[in-house]
Structure 1
Amino acid sequence: MSAPLLSGRRAFLVTGAALVATASVSFVRADDLPASDPRMGPRVIGAPNAKVIVDEWFSLTCSHCAHFSREIFPQVCKNLIDTGKIRYRFHDFPIDQVALLAAMVARSLPADQYAAFVTDLLDHQDEWAFAQNIDPVAELKKRAALFGVNAATFDRINADNALREAIINKQDHDGAFLQIPGTPYFRINDVPAPTVVGSYDDFAKAVAKAS
């Protein structure tokens, strides 16, 4: 059910051609991004005192992640998050350069807009990322504008190589430490739950087991 990680993914993300002309080919060390930078802070929704914490690692260009977002996540929100049963944490795990830029834009929004933006991108993935004869970066720019990101700000985000490297480094750490096999990847109360993406019932059963 998950998209396998790409061989040599990090080299591809770091050394690939710039997505738009404003992106530089030289990268600032991630250490230059302050640890207190709010863009790299947790992105969480749900009741702070929920007994169950669900973590999802996803890529905004992963079709399996899009399926989960469209078909299963609305029920997760209605039945589990909105009712205070679970707290949900998002983790960026981009599998290509377009997903990386999309994650950078999401991280640059106010924290309370992050979930809405990534959900919008996943739910409309076929329109902005994979439609025929379109430039996915240009389409991403249009969708970002709906969330208040103007063209100049979008270009500054794309040129922010400290943020780009910070996301990649966090992904490398999570991938190696947790042995993440692909996206989407879930942990429920820090226990791997790779089968919960099959249906909402599978997800709810996994949550109930952890409660």
Structure 2
Amino acid sequence: MVQPLSRRRLLGTLAGLPAIGLLAACSDSADAETKAEALPENVSGETTAAVDAPPAQGEVDVSELMKPGPLPEMAKGSEDAPVTIVEYASMTCSHCATFHNNTLPKLQEKYIDTGKVRLIFREFPFDPRAEAGFMLARCADGKYFPMVDALFKQQSNWAPVQDARTALLNIAKLAGFTQQSFEACLTNQELLNDVRAVRQRAANDFDVTATPTFFINGKKYAGALSIEEMSAIIDPML
């Protein structure tokens, strides 16, 4: 059940929270966190040897996964792509930032831009700061993905700091927000409810407990997959 948000409560929470560890935002449980942390990551950008596809951690009904949720889908790639990836992420999760900053550009070039993969990005916030980040992306006047990209690239500048409100405001201003539009976005109760509903549906219906979690043609994988691991999963599906 979504808890009510009084006007400016989220803004006050952002300003008052102590600094948090980024890794702590990446799972609801120690077991899920360990699995997300343990998966290898290619952060150097160098070409590595082919790897085996990691085992799927379950499978869901694709028709249920693709049913419309409370918010419009944010997607990259052709609707006719043979492979659909649904990613659940949290804006304060370090593993999600690793994937978006290091793997996603390679995935975009190799599979999304070539019509082989469609990526659907869905919100799974673990804390008020992640909720705020997603809300700002939704309010960014058609610039959802650029705002998400900026927040992941600058994650260390706002997610763990004492005054996240000011840090987020400074980033938002670069995306065209004013003080007024920033506060209006973060006090939008309906938007907050919808962001939370996306997460709740993922947790209840698809057993998402860690971020990032990917569903690749319905098969579930948790952790910041490298491009080599992604390729090993995707290529047999093409």
**TM-score, normalised to structure 2's length?**
0.70
Matches within 5 A, 1:139-150: 139-150=167-178
The aligned amino acid for 1:166 is D
Runs of 4+ in 1 over 3 A off after TM superposition: none
The equivalent residue for 1:36 is none
Deviation at 1:19, TM superposition (A): 3.2
Does residue 198 (structure 1) correspond to residue 225 (structure 2)? The answer is yes
The equivalent residue for 1:71 is 102
CA distance, structure 2, for counterparts of residue 101 and residue 47 of structure 1: 29
The aligned amino acid for 1:202 is E
The answer on whether the counterparts of 2:211 and 2:222 sit within 8 Å (CA) in structure 1 is no
Matches within 5 A, 1:19-98: 19-21=10-12, 40-98=71-129
Does residue 116 (structure 1) correspond to residue 107 (structure 2)? The answer is no
% identical equivalent positions: 27
Q: For residues 77-114 of structure 1, what are the alpha-carbon distances to aligned partners after superposition, in whole Å with 9 as ceiling and x for unaligned?
A: 11111122111101000010011011111112234x11
CA distance, structure 2, for counterparts of residue 73 and residue 84 of structure 1: 15
Task: List alignment gaps of at least 5 residues for structure 2.
Answer: 15-69
The equivalent residue for 1:174 is 202
CA distance, structure 2, for counterparts of residue 42 and residue 191 of structure 1: 19
The answer on whether the counterparts of 2:97 and 2:155 sit within 8 Å (CA) in structure 1 is yes
Does residue 102 (structure 1) correspond to residue 133 (structure 2)? The answer is yes
CA distance, structure 2, for counterparts of residue 61 and residue 88 of structure 1: 20
CA distance, structure 2, for counterparts of residue 186 and residue 14 of structure 1: 30
Q: Secondary structure at the match of 1:115?
A: helix
Deviation at 1:210, TM superposition (A): 2.6
Q: CA RMSD in A?
A: 2.5
Against the structure 1 CA distance between its residues 155 and 179, is the aligned structure 2 distance closer, same or farther, given a 3 Å change threshold?
same
Q: How many aligned positions are there?
A: 182
The equivalent residue for 1:136 is 164
CA distance, structure 2, for counterparts of residue 150 and residue 22 of structure 1: 20
Q: Secondary structure at the match of 1:139?
A: helix
Against the structure 1 CA distance between its residues 124 and 43, is the aligned structure 2 distance closer, same or farther, given a 3 Å change threshold?
same
**TM-score, normalised to structure 1's length?**
0.78
Task: List alignment gaps of at least 5 residues for structure 1.
Answer: 1-9, 24-38
The answer on whether the counterparts of 1:60 and 1:94 sit within 8 Å (CA) in structure 2 is yes
Q: Which of 158, 173, 193 is 1:165 aligned to? A: 193
Deviation at 1:202, TM superposition (A): 0.2
CA distance, structure 1, for counterparts of residue 236 and residue 5 of structure 2: 40
Deviation at 1:62, TM superposition (A): 0.5
